[in-house]
Structure formats: structure tokens, C-alpha cells
Amino acid sequence: MENTADLQQASKIKWAYTALVIIVTWFALVLQFSISIPAYLAAGRSLCSTLVQLYSYYTILSNLLMVVCLTIILIAPTSALGHFFLKRTVLTSIALYITIVALIYNIVLRNLWHMEGLFKLANELLHVVNPILFIIYWFAFVPKAGLKYRDVLPWLWFPLIYFIYVLIRGAISGDYPYPFLNAEKSGYAQVMLNALILLPVIWGLGALYVLIARLMSRSEK
């Protein structure tokens, strides 16, 4: 009976924490869109161009992937998508992607943009608060046993496809979401060098997640 009560309590805590992360992340995304769309429109962009621009940010895509994953896990865990998002490899890959968001912004980009008011609030939520919340979720609730270093390689597809998309879109429109990916200003050689530096760093972060998972799963035995 005591074990059952403990499991029920743990389940309630997980549900409440997941709901909290979902609420905060959806709020951040809705806030970002609600203030950015009018700003882009006022600057002369069309609505279509504005939406494409917003969805071209790795930050937006990663936060959206994270919150869709958790929302489905919470409301439809037994669905096909629920089973997919509940996989430890999928959850760990999302933890990796959102960690990249936090690290690149805070190490490389933070001092390039100075925001105020609601823009600053949305920015901090998307780049700092949400990543921390999901990393805590990963440590607390994601099963760790069974993760392998070979799982890391497939996780690189998302950032790689994103990189290719940014270069193609930039060549067509001249719009680049991040300075270190701006081939128009820095040249393709420099952008490729930046990517070649980032790729092993991303793999290393993924491997670090696997190492942590293996150590944690051993300690639980």
C-alpha cells in the first residue's frame, strides 16, 4: 500500500510539473508571436513573410517541439504520438536541442541584442527559463536505462536539416536568423567553419546526456 501511495504521489508530481512546463512554454511562444507579428508588420513585412521568419528561428522550433511533446504526453500518452514522444531517445534528443538554444544564446548571442519590456520577458523565457524547466524534467522524469552513444548520431539530423534550410532560405530571401549563419555577410566559408565547429560540440553534448543517463541508471540499480 505504501509503495502504491508513493507511486501515486510521484505520478501527481510529474503531472503537475509537466503541466507547469507546458503552461510556461505556451505562454512564452504566444507572447513572442503576439508582440513580434505586429512589429514585423509595422516594419513592412507581409504576414506570410513574418510567420516564415518566426518559424525560421531555431529557438522557436525547439521550444515548439518541446511543448508539443509534453502536451501530447500529458493529454494523450497512449496515442501513437504519445508512444513516440515517451521514448527516452526522443525526450533526450529534445533535451539536447533545447540545451543548444540556451548555450548558444547565452554564450554567443546575448550581448548582440538588447531588449526591453515584453520582448525581454519572452526572450528570457524562451532562451533561459524553458530550457532549464525541460532539463529538470529530463533529470527527474525521463527513464535513463538503455540510452547508448550510438543514439546520438540520429539526433544530429534536426540541427543539420535546420542548417541546410537556413542557407537555402538565406540565399533566396537574404534573411538569416542568426549572425553566425549569415553567409551574405560572413561568406559561406566562414559559415561552414562555424557549422563544423558546432557539429562536434552538439554531438559532445548529446554524448554527455547519454553518459549522465548511464551513470544515473547504474546508481538506481
For the chain, the domains span: 2-219
Share of the chain above pLDDT 90, in %: 89
- pLDDT (mean) for 161-185: 94
How is residue 55 annotated by DSSP? T
- Residue bearing cell 538588447: 114
Share of the chain above pLDDT 70, in %: 96
Q: What's residue 9's pLDDT?
A: 81
Q: Give dist(CA 11, CA 5) in Å, integer.
A: 10
pLDDT digits (tens, 9 = 90+) for 105-153: 999 998 888 889 999 999 999 999 999 999 999 999 999 999 999 999 9
Q: Give dist(CA 54, CA 28) in Å, integer.
A: 13
Q: Tell me the average pLDDT of the chain.
A: 94
Q: What's residue 221's pLDDT?
A: 56
Q: What's residue 52's pLDDT?
A: 95
Residue 1 has pLDDT above 90, yes or no: no
pLDDT digits (tens, 9 = 90+) for 11-68: 899 999 999 999 999 999 999 999 999 999 999 999 999 999 999 999 999 999 999 9
Mapped to the 3 state alphabet, what secondary structure does 170-192 carry?
A: HHHHCCCCCHHHCHHHHCHHHHH
Q: What's residue 11's pLDDT?
A: 85
Beta strands in 109-192 (DSSP E): none
HSE, CB side, 13 Å, CA atoms: give it for residue 167. Answer: 15
Residue 220 has pLDDT above 80, yes or no: no
Give the least confident one: 4-13, 35-44, 72-81, 180-189.
4-13
Residue 2 has pLDDT above 70, yes or no: no
Of 100, 22, 91, nearest to 59 by C-alpha is 100
Q: Give dist(CA 195, CA 208) in Å, integer.
A: 20
Amino acid at 21: V
- Residue bearing cell 549572425: 179
**Cβ distance 62 to 101 under 8 Å?**
yes
How is residue 45 annotated by DSSP? -
Sign of the CA dihedral 21, 145, 76, 62? Answer: positive
How is residue 142 annotated by DSSP? S
Is the pTM higher than 0.85?
A: yes
**Cβ distance 18 to 140 under 8 Å?**
no
**Quick one: cell of 214?**
548511464
C-alpha pair distances (Å), 36 with each of 18, 30, 40, 125? 27, 10, 6, 15
Among the residues of the chain, which ranges form H helices? Answer: 2-42, 47-54, 58-75, 80-85, 88-104, 117-124, 130-141, 152-155, 157-173, 183-186, 188-219
